[in-house]
Amino acid sequence: MANKVRLGKTDLQVLPVGLGANAVGGANIFGEADEEEGKRLVRAAIDNGINMLDTAYLYGLGRSEELIGEVVKETGRRNDLVIATKVSPIITENGRIYNNSPAFLREETEKCLKRLQTDYIDIMYIHFPDESTPKYEAVGELKRMKDEGKIRAIGLSNFTPEQLAEANRDGYVDVFQGEYNLINRSAEQRYFPYMREHGISFIPYFPLASGLLTGKFRKDTPVADYRAKDPKFQGENYIRNVERVEQLRGIAAGKGVEIAHVVLAWYLTRDVIDVVIPGAKRADQVLDNLRALEVNLTESEIAEIDRIFKD
């Protein structure tokens, strides 16, 4: 099993492959999410050495946190784990209400602690920016909760670079979560320089491009599920994406692994990335993704992958 690494400037130690838990109890996102399978896959992750679990209120409107809380309690391994969750918008019939006021962040953090059955959260993210709260005041409230021991690291997600800079006025932000994968590499220009300059660890979401980067999609694979509305699974875009993914098959075969493992290992060669959090619907996918830790890419393979997905 690979060694743990320090997460950015925090004092958290993580196995470089974690678990993205938006499908655990996430029936509001995926429809088919089976709760027992969700618990099984969290158990499989913990039993096999994964220690970072990434969840949010938004995943099942608290249900993901509750299921993770149950499993963590059963395992008795709370202190080995790095649990990340997010204060998310409230969902109403008329849409989402974003609120990052200090009072709301504190109330929601208390609710997260209850759902997770714990007395501290390793990484507390603000899931999305709101319109009215000065960004540094929202982060300031997280800093107060950090000083009180309720949270151990401060995260932001889905903030624009300008919003992030405002939020990090006092230098309190530890980690940032944003979309990044071989198909959408815009974060390299938009966020990575700021991450480097401020010692913030970048945690990519959609690392497998919702499964496209596993190599299980071929040009003629019908895409009729939750992915059908996603532009990268549509028309010419889709064909071009599959063609590029196919070019990874040789590198993966040469190492006796699958494309997903090469892709995840490639992210871990980026200087601002310490950990990846691929999502999983089943326990076997969790175990499979751990094989990324077996992959050592040479400089020329790293450059070749960069070239294939350059534009």
State which residue, 76 or 229, has the beta carbon closest to ligand NAP: 229
Beta carbon of residue 38, minimum distance to ligand NAP (angstroms, whole number)? 11
Residues 89, 40 contacting (CB under 8 angstroms): no
Three-class secondary structure of residue 244 per DSSP: helix
Residue 38 binds ligand NAP, judged by CB under 6 A = no
Question: Taking CB under 6 A as the criterion, which residues in 46-105 touch ligand NAP?
Answer: 54
Beta carbon of residue 299, minimum distance to ligand NAP (angstroms, whole number)? 26
Beta carbon of residue 9, minimum distance to ligand NAP (angstroms, whole number)? 20
Ramachandran region of residue 288, left (φ > 0), alpha (ψ -120 to 50) or beta?
alpha
Residues 32, 60 contacting (CB under 8 angstroms): no
Residue 20 binds ligand NAP, judged by CB under 6 A = yes
* Interface residue with ligand NAP, options 154, 211, 266, 275 (CB under 6 A): 211
Residue 163 binds ligand NAP, judged by CB under 6 A = no
Between the CA of residue 35 and those of 31, 157, 208, 244, what are the distances in Å? 11, 26, 22, 35
Residues 53, 44 contacting (CB under 8 angstroms): no
Measured N-to-C along each axis, helices 102-115 and 63-75 cross at an angle, to the nearest 10 degrees, of 50
Which one of the spans 8-16, 41-49, 235-243, 278-286 is the region binding ligand NAP (CB under 6 A)? 278-286
Residue 289 binds ligand NAP, judged by CB under 6 A = yes
Q: φ, ψ for residue 147 (rounded to 5)?
A: -60, -30
In whole angstroms, give the CA distance from residue 161 to residue 159.
6
Q: Is 57 a catalytic residue?
A: no
Residue 304 binds ligand NAP, judged by CB under 6 A = no
Beta carbon of residue 26, minimum distance to ligand NAP (angstroms, whole number)? 8
Q: Rg for the chain (alpha carbons), in Å?
A: 19
Residue 208 binds ligand NAP, judged by CB under 6 A = yes
Give the tokens for residue 101: 């006021």
Residue 121 binds ligand NAP, judged by CB under 6 A = no
Parallel/antiparallel/unpaired status of strands 175-179 and 201-205: parallel
Three-class secondary structure of residue 204 per DSSP: strand
In whole angstroms, give the CA distance from residue 88 to residue 85.
9
Which of 57, 59, 205, 267 is flagged as catalytic?
A: 59
State which residue, 113 or 213, has the beta carbon closest to ligand NAP: 213
**Binding marks (x or -) toward ligand NAP, 212..251, rule CB under 6 A?**
--x-x-----------------------------------
* Interface residue with ligand NAP, options 260, 290, 295, 305 (CB under 6 A): 260
Residue 275 binds ligand NAP, judged by CB under 6 A = no
Parallel/antiparallel/unpaired status of strands 151-157 and 82-87: unpaired
Name the residues that contact ligand NAP, by CB under 6 A.
20-23, 54, 157-158, 177, 205-211, 214, 216, 260, 277-281, 285, 288-289
Active site residues: 59
